[in-house]
Chains A and B, each alone.
Chain A
Amino acid sequence: MLNRKSTLSAVLYHAFIIGLGFIMLYPILWMFVSSIKPEAEIFQNAASLIPSDIKWENYAVGWEGYGQYDFGLFFKNSIIVTSLVVVGTLFSSSLVAYGFARLTFKFQKFLFACLLGTVMLPVQVVVIPQYILYHKLNWIDTFLPLVVPAFVGGAAFFIFLMVQFIRGIPRELDEAAVIDGCSPFGIFWHVILPLCKPALITVTIFSFMWTWDDFFTPLIFLQDTSLYTVALGLRGFMDPDAMTAWGPLIAMSSLSLLPQFILFLFCQKYIVKGIATTGIK
């Protein structure tokens, strides 16, 4: 009797979770399916997840982009920006975090409090003067405003994350390295950094995901179409004044998400762990 009851509740449970999960996933599935639907069917048979005919043309047409710019260029731009941001974030967050977590210097506590104060600072408050600054430096319409902040610790959150991680590494390891005649940089490079691998992976994944996804920063600092990232390229596609070519737009949207989905597929353990322990949004 009890057994039957628990089987029933298990069936209900799984049915409910899968049903709701399907509704959750539906919009994303819909996008991938629509990207291979014949153009007319996107609207005539909008709710359906089964295309009557598989057409890959949307990808070919979408890839052409508009004007003289194709999506190959936008992807290239996105890859350049994202990889530079990731490198810059790894560089600045590890170096600075080691300084705060392990070294002693004047005003250390005060400066660390400043760092924490900026973790949640709304970008809207600094973006206008930053725009003016970059404008005066002639950086508008270059990748510099997107990339340089990463090298100077622009994402304070990652520094904080690394500080927390380094604090968890036993100090005896540093002391042993000092006895062996290691300099502070030597300790950082040979002892701390190799042990930080899990934290560095988390930083890599999230800075990649956020930069790839980012629409706001490129929107403000890039005007020249030849510099557009994928996000801006897509937006140019959905111009409300022109007739939106939905098929190609959806195809390119699907393609734009591919790197993130691939990363999620291979790194979901790190992603889930990273969110759970650090609260990354």
Chain B
Amino acid sequence: MENVPVQGGKKRQVVETTLKQRTIRNNLIGYAFISPWLIGFIGIIVGPMLYSLYLSFTHYDLLSAPSWIGMENYINIFTQDPRFWTTLKVTFLFVFIAVPLRLIFALAIAMLMNMGFRGAGVYSLIYYVPSIIGGSVAVAVIWRQIFGREGALNHVLAWFNIEGYNWFAHPDYALSVLILLIVWQFGSPMVIFLAGLRQIPSELYEAAAVDGANAFHRFFRITIPMLTPVIFFNLVFAVINGFLTFTQAFLITAGGPIDRTLLYALYLYQNAFEYFRMGYASALAWILLLIIGILTALIFLTSKKWVYYESEGGKQGAQ
């Protein structure tokens, strides 16, 4: 009888130590599995980010060591660099025209694909084809030729006796042609919209039809509200990618004419890898991160007002 509590204590101790050992073992196994990412996260994300923050307060040209200059880069960017304001203007113009156009187009075509006509599956694949080639060099080659002075577009215009330009050399049109390229590749948001449209229960439309709602009403009272989660998702992605657009501007217009297509990512690249102003470019990069962060946060914050989730109404989403 006397032994029992002692034994019990021992037992508990044994259980506790094995439990502890087990947690340690579990931790070790867990970290072993995520170690590739953990190494990368520290080595190529967090480390570089901190270093880039530091660099943004220095003058650094790769040749001599970075020298601390405090806020000078940031002050110069905002007060001494007219090209910064140009690039900001161009980029905002680009994003705020290209993104809505791209999404409106994607939604319109997705709705056409969802009307229940035969062959819609094949058609949506065809409309997706331009998106496959994404930001490749080939697409830059195509665009440069088609919108060049001797290009296909001007040949078509000539049939109607309209004289075209070298569209990329014209300050008023160069950016529009880049926007057109982004809109042309509306395949991915279209596919996402199409998936979203298929999730809308047809009873909703049937009920609305019984109530005598016309197409206009059905679109704004059912389709759009039910699609808001998808619109939200597409919007966030499109805005972020819009701000990062680089290859097309770099290859097709190189920022010209007179900086009219000098997108932010391109200006950042030029500073870093053409002028080797690494500190200055780092400051530009952090300003870009801040802009994207603020815009994303704005979309997220306002989303509570306009994004409708089915589950909130008490009914669980279909997925």
| A interface, CB within 8 angstroms of B | 10, 13-14, 16-18, 20-21, 24-25, 27-28, 30-31, 34, 42-43, 45-47, 91-92, 95-96, 98-100, 103-106, 108, 111, 114-115, 118, 120-133, 135, 149, 151-154, 156, 159, 184, 188, 209-210, 213, 215-216, 220, 230-231, 234-235, 238, 240, 246, 249-250, 253-254, 256-257, 260-261, 264, 268, 272, 275-277, 279-281
Q: How far is the CB of B118 from chain A (nearest CB, A)?
A: 8
B306 at the interface (CB under 8 A from A): no
Expressed in whole angstroms, the Cα–Cα distance for A215 and B266 within the complex equals 13
The answer to whether B40 and A152 have CB atoms under 8 Å apart is yes
**Roughly how many angstroms separate A68 CA and B95 CA in the complex, as a whole number?**
42
The answer to whether A98 and B156 have CB atoms under 8 Å apart is no
Q: Assuming the A-B contacts A27-B143, A235-B251, are A91 and B36 also in contact, with contact meaning beta carbons closer than 8 angstroms in the complex? A: yes
Please, how many angstroms separate the alpha-carbon atoms of A95 and B272 in the complex?
35
In the complex formed, the residue of B with least CB distance to A96 is B37
Cα–Cα distance between A150 and B150 once the two chains are bound (Å): 42
Residue of A with least CB distance to B157: A47
Report whether A152 and B44 are in contact in the complex, using a CB–CB cutoff of 8 Å: yes
A129 and B132 alpha carbons, distance in the complex (Å): 31
Residue among B33, B156, B288 with the most chain A CB within 10 A? B33
Give the residue name and chain of the B residue nearest to A272 (CB).
B191
User: A152 vs B129: C-alpha distance in the bound complex, in angstroms?
Assistant: 32
Q: Are A238 and B142 in contact (CB under 8 A)?
A: no
Complex Cα distance A54/B241, Å?
Answer: 39
- Is A149 touching B188 in the complex (CB atoms < 8 A)? no
B window 132-146: CB within 8 A of A: 132-138, 140-146
Q: Is the interface of B mostly helix, strand, loop or mixed?
A: helix
Knowing A24-B126, A151-B36, A275-B191, the reply to whether A257 touches B136 (Cβ < 8 A) is yes
CB distance from B22 to the nearest CB of A (A): 11
A159 and B251 in contact (CB under 8 A), knowing A128-B281, A213-B136? no
Asked if B192 is at the interface of the complex by the 8 Å CB criterion, the answer is yes
23 A–B contacts from the bound complex (CB under 8 Å): A17-B112, A21-B123, A24-B127, A31-B142, A45-B155, A46-B145, A47-B155, A92-B37, A92-B40, A95-B34, A99-B30, A103-B33, A124-B244, A124-B268, A128-B278, A132-B278, A149-B44, A209-B134, A238-B140, A260-B132, A272-B128, A280-B188, A281-B237
Chain B contacts for A216, CB-based, 8 A: 246-247
A130 touches which one: B44, B119, B143, B247 (CB < 8 A)?
Answer: B44
Chain A: which residue is nearest B264 at the CB level? A124
Q: Does any Cβ of A come within 8 Å of B240's Cβ?
A: yes
A98-B33, A128-B281, A152-B37 are contacts. A13–B48 as well, Cβ < 8 Å?
A: no
A96-B34, A99-B30, A132-B51 as given contacts; A215 in contact with B135, CB under 8 Å: yes
> Known: A257-B133, A261-B132. Contact between A124 and B29, CB under 8 A?
no
Q: Are B129 and A28 in contact (CB under 8 A)?
A: yes
Interface status of B286 (Cβ within 8 A of chain A): yes
Task: Report yes or no: A104 in contact with B30, Cβ–Cβ below 8 A.
Answer: yes
CB distance from A2 to the nearest CB of B (A): 16
Which residues of the other chain, B, contact A124 by a CB distance below 8 angstroms?
244, 265, 268-269, 285, 288
The answer to whether B241 and A231 touch across the interface, beta carbons within 8 angstroms, is no
- Choose one: A24, A130, A240; the contact of B48 (CB below 8 Å): A130
Our pick among A21, A123, A151 for the contact of B127 (Cβ within 8 Å) is A21
Question: Which A residues lie within 8 Å of B31 (CB)?
Answer: 99, 105
- Of B39, B119, B151, B281, the contact of A46 (CB 8 Å cutoff): B151
Q: How far is the CA of A137 from the CA of B192 in the complex (A)?
A: 42
Q: How far is the CA of A198 from the CA of B316 in the complex (A)?
A: 26
Q: Considering the chains assembled together, what is the distance between the CA atoms of A264 and B154 in angstroms?
A: 32
With A152-B39, A260-B132, A276-B192 as given contacts, are A100 and B34 in contact (CB-CB < 8 Å)?
yes
Cα–Cα distance between A110 and B272 once the two chains are bound (Å): 33
Q: Report the separation of the CA atoms of residues A250 and B137 in the bound assembly, to the nearest whole angstrom.
A: 10
Which chain B residues have a beta carbon within 8 Å of chain A's beta carbons? 26-27, 29-34, 36-41, 43-45, 47-49, 51-52, 55, 62, 109, 112, 115, 117, 119, 123-130, 132-138, 140-146, 150-156, 184, 188, 191-192, 194-195, 233-234, 236-237, 240-241, 243-244, 246-247, 251, 254, 265, 268-269, 272-273, 278, 281-282, 285-286, 288-289, 292, 296
From A14, A129, A246, contact of B145 by CB (8 A): A246
- Assess whether A46 is in contact with B155, with CB atoms less than 8 Å apart: yes
Which of chain B's residues have a CB closer than 8 A to the CB of A133?
44, 47-48, 51
Q: Which of B27, B49, B119, B141 contacts A238 (CB 8 A)?
A: B141
The answer to whether B138 touches A234, judged by C-beta atoms less than 8 angstroms apart, is: yes
Q: Contacts A14-B117, A238-B251: A105 and B142 contacting too (C-beta < 8 A)?
A: no
The docked-state distance in angstroms from the alpha carbon of A231 to that of B92 is 28
Q: Which of these, A131, A132, A210, A276, contacts B195 with CB under 8 Å? A: A276
CB distance from A114 to the nearest CB of B (A): 6
Q: Report the Cα distance A130→B246, complex, angstroms.
A: 18
A213, B285: Cα distance in complex, Å: 24
A30 touches B146 (CB 8 A): yes
Task: Tell me the complex Cα distance, A220–B152, Å.
Answer: 33
A213: which of B119, B133, B153, B272 is its contact (CB, 8 Å)?
Answer: B133
